[in-house]
Every structure is written in C-alpha cells, then in structure tokens.
C-alpha cells in the first residue's frame, strides 16, 4: 500500500516541479541531500539529517552527498547516491523496498565524477552548500524556493500516511513517558523511556524532546533536561516521531494528583483544544482561529478565578498573551515547522503579519490537504507575571490563585490535523490515542 502511495506521490511531485521549471525558466532542478559537517578542530561529525527539500523526494534522512535531478522533459528523476568503500562505518541508508522503482539510480564515488551530469543544462541547485559550484544566482534561487514552498502546502496521500504513521508510533511513547513521570523518574529518564518505547535514537527525533516536570512545564522549549528526580506535581511532554522524513508533533500535559485544580484545568483546556481543532477548514484564517484561541484561554483563566475580568477585556488588553505567548499552530510535514505558511502566492509575496500577533507561524488561509498542528497553551511564567504585577490590570488578577498554580508550570495540548480536500478534518493524534486506550 505505501509503495503505491509513494509512486503516486512521486508522479504528483514530478507534475508540480515541471510547472515550477516552466514558471522559472530553468530546464533542470537538482536537490542535494546536504553534506556532513565536522566539529571544529576535530575528526568527529555532527549528526546529519538530509534537508527537507530532498526528503520529500527520497526518504534517506541520514545519507549525505546525494542528489535528485529532474529535467523538464523527463518523467523519471535521477537519484545520484554517493557510494564509497568504507570499512569504518556502517553501510549507508537505503531506500525502502519498492521505492527505488521511482528513480533512475546512479552510484558515484566523487563529486567530480558527476558534476557535468548535474549542470549540463540551465540548472537550479538547492542545497545547503554549493557543492556543484553553480553561479550564485542559480544556487537556492529564491524564485524557485518560493514556487516549491508554495506547492508544498498541500500534501499528497503518501505524505498524509507518513504523518499518520508518525502519530501512531509517537503515542505509545507518550504513554511510556507519562508512566515514567508517575513513577517519579527524572526528566532525562522520562526522555529515555520515550525513546525506548518508539525504538528510536535521539538523533532520529524530528526535534529535541521537551520534557518539563513541575515549573519546567512553563519553559516553552525545555530541552536542557534535568537528571535529578523531583517531587512530581505536573508534567508536559512535547515530542514526535519521524517516518520516511515526515514528522509528528504532539504535546500532552499531566497532573500527578488527578483530583487537583490543575488536573481540572488540564481537562478544561483539553475541551477547548478540541473546539479549536473543529474550527479548521479550507480557506479558514489561521489568524482568526488564533484570536479565538486567545478567548478560550481567557475563559479557562476566568473559570479558575485567575482573572477577574471579561474574556474580551483580557484579550483586548493582551492579558491573555502573558499566559499564552505563542501561536496556535503551524504547518507540519518534512519540516516540523513546514514552509510556505506566510506565502500569498507562488511568486513569493508575503501575507502581511498581524499587528497584534506579528510572530504567528501561519498566515495564509488553509488549503486542501494541508496538515496543521493545533496547540493552545496556558502557562505561569514568572517573567510575564512580574510584568503583570506592575501593570494597570494587576488588581484584576487573583494573585493567590496565581501562586497556587505557579509550581505546576503550565499546560499545552497539541494535535496534528489534516484538512482534507472535501473539507473534512482528520485528527491524527486523537485517533492514535484512541487506538491504544
């Protein structure tokens, strides 16, 4: 089944890229997987991951020095694989069974051996390093990148299935992390439990595991995990899995005491998150849904007697933003934060950012077959709370309740959603959790 979806995916990509060649005037696009980077003054390499533009064609995330070539008049891309005799390292990653039929495959031993084959026509070259030594204007040409990023917004059925599988593999690992937290494990031990449950190396993660116990749940990107166990109160985990170069991105929050007010707050935010998931759809504005999410966070804070004001007043005066300082979500694919989210068109025009929320990752209206994350959060962050205490609305905040919730850090709940072409919504994450409950 996956092999057939992959074949359809490659056919669709060929059609899209031939349009890109026509629009940009190039005859050939060459995409490199990237190059190994060595540590400074050392003979040790950093962990390698092929760039997103290459991984969308060939799921060879750990194979450096490879190139994908597509001509305007060719229906079958050529895949150049660097293959050298090497007794020091394990054999390089190979394509999954059946995937090799999508390409003409040429193995090579040095860049000089194939350079003329890759630049024999007007070539747009995409790679981190200009290994082919093409003219600077042809290396990562912005007009070409805009065209590629714009078409990437709508995913193929193969891409959907990869992210669907990535959710199914991540969810049991989330449960293992939850179990480790409830057993009193340290953050490092919790992350180890996650990796063991999804049978992955840390270098294979689509992004660094965020595992915040207690106050650390208020650190939005808490990667510096603690080795010392703490008396457990709360736990936030943000972690995914990668399948064929495509990521899942899932967050859950847990209370150690299921009868606490913090546990009840998690439950209410979970309900609000599902309501926000249901708001997605073709042509819907991510900005409008983000504004709605601000109101829903305000409602939670009011319900738990943290704010003594209306939800409208809390949002208008950006009180809510001090408890919820990030955007509602982002595009998801071979990038965790997938490209094209701010493009108005394939020519690269950018949708003007919101004056009030200028840092939102998603600005362009939703399109058919996109994959989005939906991740509202509510945090008790000392730096923001200190500003509120000296602000004009300090008297409308119940500081006794704030102090009660401060040791729990915060809450984030994140699902991965497909907006299908018939405008139905598929919640990949909830379905994956339901399958193991």
The CATH number given to whatever domain includes residue 18 is 3.40.350.10
Q: How many CB atoms lie within 10 A of CB 385?
A: 18
**Domain end among 83, 118, 151:** 151
What is the pLDDT averaged over residues 208-220? 98
Q: How many CB atoms lie within 10 A of CB 424?
A: 9
Same domain, 277 and 234: yes
Residue 37 confidence class, pLDDT cut points 50, 70, 90: very high
List pLDDT tens digits, range 42-94. 989 999 999 999 999 999 999 999 999 999 987 899 999 999 888 788 888 89
List pLDDT tens digits, range 131-170. 999 999 999 999 999 999 999 999 999 999 999 999 999 9
Same domain, 96 and 241: no
* pLDDT at 120 > cutoff 90: no
* pLDDT at 331 > cutoff 90: yes
Same domain, 207 and 144: no
List pLDDT tens digits, range 174-196. 999 999 999 999 999 999 999 99
Nearest alpha carbon to residue 180 among 193, 169, 171: 193
What letter does residue 286 receive in the DSSP assignment? H
* pLDDT at 109 > cutoff 80: yes
pLDDT of residue 121: 84
Same domain, 90 and 175: no
Q: For the domain that residue 311 is a member of, what is the CATH number?
A: 3.90.230.10
Q: What are phi and psi for residue 212, nearest 5 degrees?
A: -105, 120
pLDDT of residue 29: 97
What is the pLDDT averaged over residues 22-42? 95
pLDDT of residue 91: 86
Q: What are phi and psi for residue 247, nearest 5 degrees?
A: -105, 150
Beta carbons within 8 Å of 58's beta carbon, 6+ residues apart: 33, 66, 68, 79, 95, 99, 103
**Domain end among 134, 151, 168:** 151
Tell me which H or E stretch contains 291. helix 286-303
Give residue 132's domain range.
Answer: 2-151
**Domain end among 129, 151, 173:** 151
For the chain, what is the mean pLDDT? 96
Report the C-alpha gap between 396 and 182 in whole angstroms. Answer: 35
pLDDT of residue 250: 98
Same domain, 224 and 373: yes
| The model scores a pTM over 0.75 | yes
What is the pLDDT averaged over residues 205-234? 96
Same domain, 182 and 205: yes
pLDDT of residue 7: 97
* pLDDT at 437 > cutoff 80: no
What letter does residue 217 receive in the DSSP assignment? G
Query: Do residues 329 and 288 make contact, with C-beta atoms less than 8 angstroms apart?
Result: no
Poorest-confidence range of 33-42, 209-218, 297-306, 403-412?
33-42
pLDDT of residue 405: 98
Give the percent of the chain with pLDDT over 70: 100
What is the pLDDT averaged over residues 398-409? 98
Q: How many residues does the chain have?
A: 437
pLDDT of residue 88: 81
Same domain, 237 and 274: yes
Q: What are phi and psi for residue 261, nearest 5 degrees?
A: -60, -35
Angle at 45 between CA 41 and CA 47, to 5 degrees: 140
Same domain, 165 and 71: no
The CA R_g of the chain, rounded to the nearest whole Å, is 24
Same domain, 172 and 280: yes
* pLDDT at 217 > cutoff 80: yes
Beta carbons within 8 Å of 395's beta carbon, 6+ residues apart: none
What is the pLDDT averaged over residues 237-249? 97
List pLDDT tens digits, range 267-306. 999 999 999 999 999 999 999 999 999 999 999 999 999 9
Residue 239 confidence class, pLDDT cut points 50, 70, 90: very high
What is the pLDDT averaged over residues 413-417? 98
* pLDDT at 4 > cutoff 90: yes
Helix pair angle (157-182, 428-436), 10° resolution: 50
Same domain, 190 and 131: no
Same domain, 43 and 179: no
Same domain, 50 and 123: yes
Question: Based on the structure, what is the number of domains in the chain?
Answer: 2
pLDDT of residue 306: 98
């Amino acid at each position: 089944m996956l092999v057939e979806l992959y074949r359809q995916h490659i056919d669709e990509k060929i059609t899209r890229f031939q349009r890109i060649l026509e629009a940009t005037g190039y005859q050939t696009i060459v995409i490199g997987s990237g190059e190994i980077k060595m540590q400074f003054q050392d003979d040790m390499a950093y962990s390698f991951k092929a760039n997103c533009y290459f991984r969308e064609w060939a799921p060879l995330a750990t194979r450096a020095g490879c190139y994908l070539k597509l001509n305007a008049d060719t229906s079958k891309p050529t895949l150049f694989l660097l293959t050298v005799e090497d007794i020091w390292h394990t054999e390089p990653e190979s394509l999954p069974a059946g995937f090799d039929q999508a390409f003409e495959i040429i193995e090579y031993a040095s860049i000089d051996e194939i350079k003329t084959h890759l630049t024999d026509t007007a070539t747009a070259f995409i790679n981190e390093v200009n290994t082919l030594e093409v003219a600077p204007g042809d290396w990562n040409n912005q007009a070409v990148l805009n065209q590629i990023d714009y078409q990437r917004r709508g995913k193929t059925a193969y891409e959907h299935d990869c992210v669907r599988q990535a959710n199914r593999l991540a969810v049991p690992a989330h449960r293992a992390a939850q179990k480790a937290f409830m057993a009193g494990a340290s953050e490092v031990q919790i992350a180890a439990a996650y990796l063991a449950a999804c049978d992955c190396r840390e270098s294979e993660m689509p992004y660094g595991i965020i595992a915040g116990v207690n106050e650390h749940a208020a650190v939005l990107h808490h990667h510096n995990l603690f080795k010392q166990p703490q008396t457990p109160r709360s736990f936030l985990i943000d972690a995914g899995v990668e399948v064929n170069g495509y990521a899942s991105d899932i967050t859950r929050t847990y209370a150690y005491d299921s009868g606490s007010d913090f546990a009840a707050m998690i439950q209410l935010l979970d309900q609000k998150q599902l309501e926000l998931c249901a708001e997605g759809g073709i042509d819907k504005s991510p900005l409008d849904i983000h504004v709605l999410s601000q109101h829903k966070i305000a409602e939670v804070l009011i319900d738990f007697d943290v704010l003594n004001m209306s939800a409208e007043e809390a949002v208008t005066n950006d009180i809510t933003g001090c408890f919820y300082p990030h955007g509602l979500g982002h595009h998801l694919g071979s990038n965790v934060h997938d490209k094209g989210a701010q493009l108005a068109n394939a020519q690269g025009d950018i949708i003007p950012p919101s004056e009030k929320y200028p840092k939102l990752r998603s600005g362009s209206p939703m399109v058919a077959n996109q994959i989005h994350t939906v991740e509202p959060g509510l945090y008790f962050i000392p730096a923001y709370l200190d500003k509120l205490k000296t602000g004009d609305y300090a008297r409308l905040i119940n500081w006794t309740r704030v102090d009660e919730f401060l040791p729990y850090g915060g809450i984030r709940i994140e699902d991965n959603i497909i907006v299908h072409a018939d405008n139905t919504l598929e919640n990949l994450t909830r379905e994956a959790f339901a399958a193991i409950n």
